[in-house]
Structure 1
C-alpha cells in the first residue's frame, strides 16, 4: 500500500467518524434550538457530506482512477465539504448568534463548484483509465 493510500484511508475514516458526530450533534443539540428551516439547512449540509464521503470511499477503494486523478478528486471533494457543508453548518448558528457574518453564505455555492469539479475530475480520471 502506497503511503498516500494509507493517508487517504485514515483521512476517510476520520471524516466518517466526524460525520457521525456532526449528525448526532444536529439531532440532539441543534434541532431543539433552531427553526425547522435552519435544521433543514443543517440536514442538507450533512447529506452532501455523507454523499461525498461515500463517493470518496468508492474512488479510494475501486482503482478506477490513477493516484494523480484520485488526489484531485479528494482535493475537490474535501474543499466542497468544508465550503458547502461547513458554511451551511455555520449559517444554522446564525439563528442563535447574530455575530456570525452573513457573507459566510457566499461560501456555499463555491463549495458546490468544488463538488462539480470533483465529479468532473472523476469522469476525466475514469475516461483516461486504459484498463477499463
Structure 2
C-alpha cells in the first residue's frame, strides 16, 4: 500500500512535442532547467542540485510522448515521476503533464518545486 500521494500537474507549453521531448529526456537539456547538472549512464540518471545528488532510473519512455523515472532511494514500488507531453486534438495546444508522488506533508512543497522547474523550462525554451 502506497503511503505517498499522487500529484498531477498540467502546464501549457508553447513548443512542438519533439522539441519539448528533447528538454525532458536528454541529460544536457534537463541540466538547463530541472537540475544544476544531469549525468546519465544508460538508463541511470544522476540529478545534481547544489550539493545534493539524486539518482533515478529511466523505467519507461516513448519518444515525443513521455519519459518516466524512478528514484533509486525510493523503496515504494508504486511511485515514480513522469513528464508527459499532451497535444489537444482540436486546438493543437501542447501541455506538459507532470505526475509525481510525495508524502502527505510534502505535497505542497513538491507542487512548488515543479511549478518553479517548469517555469524555468518555459524560460529556457521560450515557451
Please report the TM-score for the alignment, with normalisation by the length of structure 2.
0.28
Larger Rg: 1
Structure with more relative contact order (C-alpha pairs < 8 Å, separation 6 or more): 2
Q: Which has the higher helix share?
A: 1
Please report the TM-score for the alignment, with normalisation by the length of structure 1.
0.27
